[in-house]
Amino acid sequence: MSEARNRGLLVVVSGPAGSGKGTVLTELMRDGGYRYSVSATTRAPRPGEVDGVNYHFLTREAFEARIAAGEMLEYTEYCGNYYGTPKREAEEVLQSGCNLLLEIEVDGAANVKRKYPDAVLIMLLPPSFAVQEQRLRGRGTETEEKILARLAQTREELPHVVEYDYVIYNHDGRVDEAVADIRAIVRAERAALCRNKDAATRYFQ
């Protein structure tokens, strides 16, 4: 009863290419109790991506208008395109008591933490750089140039792991463990005293 009145937890998950973020988060979403924040972006849709499901695909002008109107909870420019989290949807989910999942890169994560110090930042990593490289090559879908660019990006982004609250690893064939780690973090964080300072008052209600 009382739990339903709690604000939802803002959970940010970042991870380099090859970390298996998509798979892990899809699995986590099966739990219910989480809502996935659909980001806005100015990049072009990839084959199979659906507007409003994978992203809200916007022109640069439309995106900049949203920034100017203060409608973005956070945004960044990444590889020449804007990416951002729409504020209204996010607030509605949190108010409803549901946990909100943001899958965003390191700059955005740092911006979220500045605005919402309560947010829980989780970095999902492949077991090692060598495994990441193997995974990217194993996909066989990207050019050598793209693979090298992603690996270079990882070298730049990884030092930001110190700004996160948790780091977890997605080992080959053990997606369930990574999902269980996120569940455990969220469960513990929701029970943390800092989020339940009114426990005594509620108890006697």
Q: In the complex with ligand 5GP, which residue's Cβ is closer, 153 or 196? A: 153
Residue type, 11: V
Least separation in angstroms between residue 28's CB and ligand 5GP is: 15
Among 8, 18, 108, 126, binds ligand 5GP (CB under 6 A): 108
**φ, ψ (nearest 5 deg) of residue 86:** -65, 130
Least separation in angstroms between residue 198's CB and ligand 5GP is: 32
Query: Which positions from 47 to 86 touch ligand 5GP by CB under 6 A, shown as an x/- string?
Result: ---------------------------x-x-x----xxx-
How many of the other CB atoms lie within 10 Å of CB of 91? 13
Among 11, 100, 103, 189, binds ligand 5GP (CB under 6 A): 103
Residue pair 16/157 in contact (Cβ under 8 Å)? The answer is yes
Bridge partners (DSSP) listed for residue 35: 100
Q: In the complex with ligand 5GP, which residue's Cβ is closer, 51 or 198? A: 51
- How far is the C-alpha of 155 from the C-alpha of 129, rounded, in Å? 9
Q: In the complex with ligand 5GP, which residue's Cβ is closer, 123 or 186? A: 123
Residue pair 99/8 in contact (Cβ under 8 Å)? The answer is yes
Q: Which helix (H) or strand (E) holds 102?
A: strand 99-103
- Site residues, ligand 5GP (CB under 6 A): 39, 43, 74, 76, 78, 83-85, 103-105, 107-108
